[in-house]
Structure 1
Amino acid sequence: MIRPNIKFFTNRLLILCIISLPIVTSCDYFRAPEDCSKFFESRPDSLSGFSLRSGGLATHGKNTIDWARCPAGTQFKASKTCSGTPLTLTFQEAQAYAKELSNKSGQSIRLPTSKEMASITEKACINPAINLNVFPSADVDNYWTSEENSSRTRVACAYYTYQGRRSCLEPKDLPHPFMLVLDRDRNLF
């Protein structure tokens, strides 16, 4: 009579182990991502699919846009750093700044779209979730994108670089830094 009880408990234990195995092995899923500064410090040659170009520009994959490696208002140096203080402008001021640069240079310079900002987001690390080998002065902040909120006129879209999240509820009158892109496919004249 004791034997059936042992078999019953053995089967229960086996089922419990099978059920708990996925739970135990998924514990790593809840681990916090690594800090990007440490992540890329140990990978100085990692460019995440970017090609570095002269003049402080970088191209991602087969895109026809070049990214300024430093936030607007700062300048890329040969020492692979950015000098100066990033501009923090309202949404309209940032758009006007890009348009003025575009008009003066004769090139299509603009703020990146949310999709373009998402394309440079690093999934393996945070704080900021951007490759610091490519964008050496990327800070954790809300960076303006070129997009406005389609249903609310007083807010626009910004990209929060801590984890790489977009929000289209950022008041347009708040000053934020922004990146610039050069659109090689678009001619101004």
Structure 2
Amino acid sequence: MLKKALLAVTCSVLMAGNAAASLQSCYNDLPNSAPDIRFQDNDNGTVTDLQTNLIWRRCLLGMTWNATTQQCDGEPSVYSWKQALFQTELNYQDASESGKSWRMPNIKELVSLREVACISPALNLQAFPGLFREEADKWEMNRTVWSATPHAQSQTILTFGLNDGMTTHFGPQDVELGVLLVKDGK
């Protein structure tokens, strides 16, 4: 009985991974900019980017990491930029780890996640599984995330599209977007 249950869980995880991968289009003739070996699974709902030494939450705010399925559950929350800053400051300050707290990443840190060989989404799905579960998720505003970087020539904030890898900018109160948190590694 236990073997059957374990087999069923394993199959469902593999099928979920294949379903997510089928949502993504990749070019075989381009080298990967964010290959699987670049990310170390920390077995706690985070991954360490071995190139930048940043630790990323694998799920957007509002989603929770499911260790059994190795996926993000739930729907991402959306916030204005000011609300996102407030939520991060209020709920994700964790001084217990050498003063390293979760924060909103700057635009360069977000762009470093972009997988240039893939689109829809332009993100490593092994490192960030479950952010896109179905085709409609690609076009949701909660799959575009706020950065901590203001636009140089306007009073707007730079954002990063997880689906297309594009940077755009919006006024801090104009739209509600998703949030992906990061903290400094070693």
Same-fold call, TM cutoff 0.5: yes
* Aligned pairs (5 A) from 1:5-16: none
CA distance, structure 2, for counterparts of residue 157 and residue 175 of structure 1: 13
CA distance, structure 2, for counterparts of residue 38 and residue 124 of structure 1: 15
Amino acid paired to 1:52: D
User: Residue 67 of structure 1 is aligned with which of 40, 46, 56?
Assistant: 56
Return closer, same or farther for 1:148/1:161 CA change in 2, 3 Å cut-off: same
- Secondary structure in 2 aligned to 1:37? helix
Q: Percent identity?
A: 23
CA distance, structure 2, for counterparts of residue 50 and residue 114 of structure 1: 19
User: Aligned residue pairs: how many?
Assistant: 144
Asked whether 1:170 is paired with 2:170, we answer yes
Q: Retained in 1: the 8 A contact 2:24–2:121?
A: no
Return closer, same or farther for 1:100/1:61 CA change in 2, 3 Å cut-off: same
What is the root-mean-square deviation of aligned Cα atoms in Å? 2.4
Q: Retained in 1: the 8 A contact 2:24–2:119?
A: no
Cα deviation for residue 52 of structure 1 reads 0.5
Cα deviation for residue 123 of structure 1 reads 1.3
Instruction: Flag the structure with more relative contact order, 1 or 2, with Cα contacts below 8 A and sequence separation at least 6.
Output: 2
User: Residue 83 of structure 2 is aligned with which of 68, 93, 98?
Assistant: 93
Q: Retained in 2: the 8 A contact 1:69–1:134?
A: yes
Q: Retained in 2: the 8 A contact 1:108–1:184?
A: no
Question: What residue is the counterpart of 1:146 in the other structure?
Answer: 148
CA distance, structure 2, for counterparts of residue 170 and residue 48 of structure 1: 34
Question: What residue is the counterpart of 1:116 in the other structure?
Answer: 109
Question: What residue is the counterpart of 2:184 in the other structure?
Answer: 183
CA distance, structure 1, for counterparts of residue 183 and residue 52 of structure 2: 11
Amino acid paired to 1:57: T
Cα deviation for residue 145 of structure 1 reads 0.9
Unaligned runs of 5+ in 1: 1-35
Instruction: Point out the structure with max Rg over C-alpha.
Output: 1
Deviations 1:84-134 (A, max 9, x none): 22110001111111112343x224110111111111111111111011111
Q: Retained in 2: the 8 A contact 1:71–1:177?
A: yes
Q: Retained in 2: the 8 A contact 1:98–1:111?
A: yes
- Secondary structure in 2 aligned to 1:152? coil
CA distance, structure 1, for counterparts of residue 63 and residue 162 of structure 2: 18
Amino acid paired to 1:180: L
Q: Retained in 1: the 8 A contact 2:104–2:146?
A: yes
Q: Retained in 2: the 8 A contact 1:88–1:176?
A: yes
Question: What residue is the counterpart of 1:5 in the other structure?
Answer: none
Amino acid paired to 2:21: S
- Secondary structure in 1 aligned to 2:36? coil
Moved over 6 A (4+): 39-42
Asked whether 1:51 is paired with 2:40, we answer yes
Cα deviation for residue 158 of structure 1 reads 0.4
